[in-house]
Structure 1
């Protein structure tokens, strides 16, 4: 059975997907004239602009909800795994896919806003919605919705809870069974409250958890400030096969850097558009730019913080594809969050294990909350117009079961299944946003044109002759 799962994984995560992600990001970067830099000031301005409504959450709440999905196990265990499999050079490729992926995130989040609907009194949207309305393909839309429900409702939550369980057992000697029961019970209380409660929890928890983690990284960077040039040099040399020690994994570094980068920042994967669609904004581009910035926070801030802590302290091993290890600084230590625990313990022996365990608990738990919201949105898409209460409860039982099972299963099995889910969603969503991006170009130009006049941009779909966007048509009076 495991060989079958491995074969599926290798098929989905072939080099084709790695380069597809990179090339898509490059194309959007050029097509939208380097929005990652030219719109950076606007991204920051929009982040705290606007409020919520009865139908939608605020821009900052949508940012926090999306970021709760982006900032998770990938930022601690994922970075460590990338270094363990691809060497320090993998960090450079995580940076690269984050920078390029920011452009992809702008496109997919804008599309999420464009094609959102009002279901059960709340805004709902995501790739399934824009595939159905924009590409006129019900089969394609339903395929994405089904894959997403399985991935975010079953495959991905176990990765997050597994990392919490491993870290809790290492730091506090807590049984995986106890961790699983506690996480499932806490998650049940939150998800039964719906999107408003989920976004409210994320609004407060995400800034706190990311801030505390980055603060710890800044302290460790400060203690190793003289080593910064050497570590940056090691990352770049390893990425371009200029460091003899890591020559054997130079090619692997690209694959693992991109793979773990996508898993962490989720740009182009199709998860963030669900949160983006829930926001109350006057122009779809506004939420697109906010979500573009969230990729920076995830990878360029949080992932970099983890990488620097690990590389400064030398608390890592790098596997040799031919067998054994290229470097083995911490013999016998399993690849994953333990690298980060050892890195912090190097300077703070009494704090490292506990700090990483708590950080992982916050990071991974909020990610599971975001997964539930995404899965629920896709059930709402499939069942709109008909009763779906029993399906929602089935989803809740499924995600609670997955969360528990992740705590008591092996890390390798959890990560492999999680990667399959991420890869399937990425393939389906990237193709869709490439086919639909010209409509985003129209909105992007409209937004910039209004900005030049000094106005606060408002979108009216009737002026651009875009069908199937009734919610944005002032002419129809729906908005």
Structure 2
């Protein structure tokens, strides 16, 4: 075990410690933004229209909204809470500005990788679509072995994420309600099992109910907090902008730390370029690949500009003396306690964290289903993965394992490299598809 930890830590120190992944993802965002002529900006209104358009009835595949909910569920997880807290704790308020920049650029990457997932997806004998990086690596580049490698690294990453997310839930309930971690872990595992096992996988149906509810609940409370502190809002945004460019910190190493924290947390949060979201998006029933690409691009905006910004505002609207010296989830907890009272604040954070994390767990189980299907069409493969996923949820809930964080980072880094190794050489297909769609759309006066 120690040898494995040493290997994982060594590669993480290179891939993340030397900022190789950060540079790669930023370059991707800039490149795809330019090549698509700022698709994420030009089509923003149309993205919302597509999301709310009713799709044709198709029992075998997801609606565009369901695919959006699954990918949003995995994006809007503990990372939107812990990730933002980490960014502000280390990089200050200015880190939020750089999270916005990363989200803007990442939206173009999300568009390209998702469009490719739909162009090169497969359909089984029941009419169900399957797609994602492993499929476009095989069908687009003829590199099936690379697709297998993506699946393996994905399972490594998701094993870590499942445990980390489960532990976040059990810890928060232990603090808020004094319920033992093993009790919550069992309950969480059983709830997940009810959804993913059975004659039909109920993940999509559950998430298209849970995701809107948790978003409205969370944003509703944050909106309440903002209204109560509306007079402080101009100074908060002024603080974000001024600290983003080191005006308060001065010139030197500090501004570099601010930028890097915002960039890193933004990349972790929106997942653009990692290849995860296309696994769900490829199952959507849409008339053109570009449509789901645009919807997934919108998902990056929702993740960062809406949910992450909401989390940041709660902390930045808190009296500094209340949270001075705090970091991690304690900082977020104290911030909500300050605005809502200690009792309601703790309960709210526990409940919202449960919804965020439970939806993340279900979303990852769906990703696993798609990727295992690439390895084998036999039902035993799906069953084994579901058992594996439930085991990770249970184990993560009963004990905290720092190595799981490192394992998740390691798997995510490898997934990203493999995914982008297919996205770049195949990107011309996405660009051509966009041109074709845009021509038809303007002809039909869709905009």
Pick closer, same or farther for the CA change 1:274–1:74 going to 2, 3 Å: same
Provide the C-alpha distance between the structure 1 equivalents of 2:235 and 2:77, rounded to a whole number of angstroms: 28
Match of 1:321 in 2: none
Match of 2:428 among 438, 446, 462: 438
What is the RMSD computed on CA atoms of the aligned residues? 2.1
Match of 2:112 in 1: 107
Give ranges in structure 2 of 5+ residues lacking alignment: none
Match of 1:339 among 331, 334, 340: 331
Q: Indicate if the aligned counterparts of 1:56 and 1:279 stay in contact, CA closer than 8 A.
A: yes
Match of 1:329 in 2: 323
Shift of 1:338: 2.6
Match of 1:390 in 2: 380
- TM-score relative to the length of structure 1: 0.87
Provide the C-alpha distance between the structure 2 equivalents of 1:413 and 1:195, rounded to a whole number of angstroms: 34
Mean Cα deviation higher: 337-346 or 269-278: 337-346
List aligned pairs for 1:72-471, cutoff 5 A.
72-119=77-124, 121=126, 122-152=128-158, 154-193=159-198, 196-244=201-249, 249-314=254-319, 329-331=323-325, 333=326, 335-349=327-341, 350-384=343-377, 388-410=378-400, 412-454=402-444
Shift of 1:435: 1.4
- Residues 46-103 of structure 1, C-alpha deviations (whole Å, 9 max, x = no match): 0022234133111111111111111101111111112122222221221111111111
Q: Indicate if the aligned counterparts of 1:55 and 1:118 stay in contact, CA closer than 8 A.
A: no
Pick closer, same or farther for the CA change 1:195–1:281 going to 2, 3 Å: farther
Q: Indicate if the aligned counterparts of 1:76 and 1:306 stay in contact, CA closer than 8 A.
A: yes
Provide the C-alpha distance between the structure 1 equivalents of 2:403 and 2:324, rounded to a whole number of angstroms: 23
Provide the C-alpha distance between the structure 2 equivalents of 1:436 and 1:307, rounded to a whole number of angstroms: 37
Q: Indicate if the aligned counterparts of 2:157 and 2:409 stay in contact, CA closer than 8 A.
A: no
Q: Indicate if the aligned counterparts of 1:82 and 1:256 stay in contact, CA closer than 8 A.
A: yes
Provide the C-alpha distance between the structure 2 equivalents of 1:245 and 1:161, rounded to a whole number of angstroms: 40
Q: Say which SS state the counterpart of residue 359 (structure 1) adopts.
A: helix
Q: Indicate if the aligned counterparts of 1:163 and 1:337 stay in contact, CA closer than 8 A.
A: no
Q: Indicate if the aligned counterparts of 1:147 and 1:424 stay in contact, CA closer than 8 A.
A: yes
Q: Indicate if the aligned counterparts of 2:14 and 2:20 stay in contact, CA closer than 8 A.
A: no
Provide the C-alpha distance between the structure 2 equivalents of 1:315 and 1:424, rounded to a whole number of angstroms: 39
Q: Say which SS state the counterpart of residue 37 (structure 2) adopts.
A: coil
Pick closer, same or farther for the CA change 1:281–1:22 going to 2, 3 Å: same
Mean Cα deviation higher: 84-93 or 64-73: 84-93
Shift of 1:419: 2.0
Shift of 1:297: 0.9
Provide the C-alpha distance between the structure 2 equivalents of 1:58 and 1:47, rounded to a whole number of angstroms: 9
Match of 2:14 in 1: 11
- TM-score relative to the length of structure 2: 0.93
Shift of 1:245: 8.1
Provide the C-alpha distance between the structure 1 equivalents of 2:45 and 2:345, rounded to a whole number of angstroms: 36
Q: Indicate if the aligned counterparts of 1:52 and 1:279 stay in contact, CA closer than 8 A.
A: no
